[in-house]
Amino acid sequence: MAADLDRALAGKHVVITGGGRGIGAAIAAAAAAQGAHLTLMGRTRGQLEERAAALRAEAGQGDIEVHCEAVDVARADSVEAAFAAATRALGPVAVLVNNAGQAGSAPFLRTEPALWQQMLEVNLTGTYLATRAALPGMLAAGWGRVINVASTAGEKGYPYVSAYCAAKHGVIGLTRALALEMAHKHITVNAVCPGYTDTDIVRDAIANIREKTGRSEVDALAELAKHNPQGRLVRPEEVANAVLWLCLPGSEAVTGQAISVSGGEVM
């Protein structure tokens, strides 16, 4: 990375929902390497604290601050309390990464209202609530970055995940609308859209394929990897690099975009 971009996020407060594992953990590591102070949010405090301890150890004593908040992103009261506590600890949020998400699957006619509602609440309403909590601080500071980790499921359709696809399409629509509202306020709003990525969610999908079809793990993995023209799963670090670039100097003109990180699956 160019020398003038080293530690470009030094002192900035970066909040990452779903920050304890997978893509969220990779984003946290990338932001910490740029000197950011972090709030990791997620459902499981123990997992967040474990990740925070690792980040502090990697950065060196006192180099960065890492705060943790347990939160249910689908509940307005939980989100408001978590962001209020994070702001008290580390100051106003400069960068928000909406990464928390769930991917439930079922054929459309077996998609019960509870599953439909859960996919909307966690993936779409959670993004709305967290952004609504973080945005006032960005407006007051006159600078901010909102990055929504959507999915290629927000850009195209996949069978058996209609509720998830609908929610992620909604995230991209929200991204585009808010980007226009913030265009004159030095706040950019973008979505990053990973294809199938080597995370727990995809490992669960592989287990589901094995259980329902009797295929081997190798065959189940190949079923998912074939969507990627490169013939592989995306690495969490590759998604993190795209997110990080959107926070760094030189990306100011990029807003309202849905950036596919999928080996060419979506063009």
> Which residue carries 């999915």 as its tokens?
151
The model's pLDDT over 35-71, given as tens digits with 9 standing for 90+, comes to 999 999 999 999 999 999 999 998 865 579 999 999 9
> Would you state the structure tokens that stand for residue 239, as one six-digit string?
């998604």
User: Above 50 in pLDDT, residue 210?
Assistant: yes
Domain map (residue ranges) of the chain: 3-195+235-255, 196-233
What is the residue-wise DSSP string for 221-262?
A: HHHHHTTSTTSSPBPHHHHHHHHHHTTSTT-TT--S-EEEES
| pLDDT-above-90 percentage for the chain | 83
Residue 141: HSE in the Cβ half-sphere, 13 Å Cα cutoff: 16
Q: Which residues pair with 193 in a beta bridge?
A: 260
The separation between the first and the last C-alpha atoms of the chain, rounded to the nearest angstrom, is 26
CA distance 208 to 220: 9
pTM of the full structure: 0.93
What percentage of the chain carries pLDDT values higher than 70?
97
Tens of pLDDT along 174-195? Answer: 999 999 999 999 999 999 999 9
pLDDT on residue 3: 43
Please write the tens of the pLDDT for every residue from 118-146: 999 999 999 999 999 999 999 999 999 99
> If pLDDT is split at 50, 70 and 90, which confidence band does 2 have?
very low
CATH of segment(s) 3-195+235-255? 3.40.50.720
pLDDT in tens, 243-265: 999 999 999 999 999 999 999 99
Active-site hit among 128, 158, 164, 196: 164
Examine the residue annotation and report whether 164 is marked as an active-site residue of this protein: yes
Work out the average pLDDT over 202-213.
76
pLDDT at 142: 98
pLDDT tens for 142-165 read 999 999 999 999 999 999 999 999
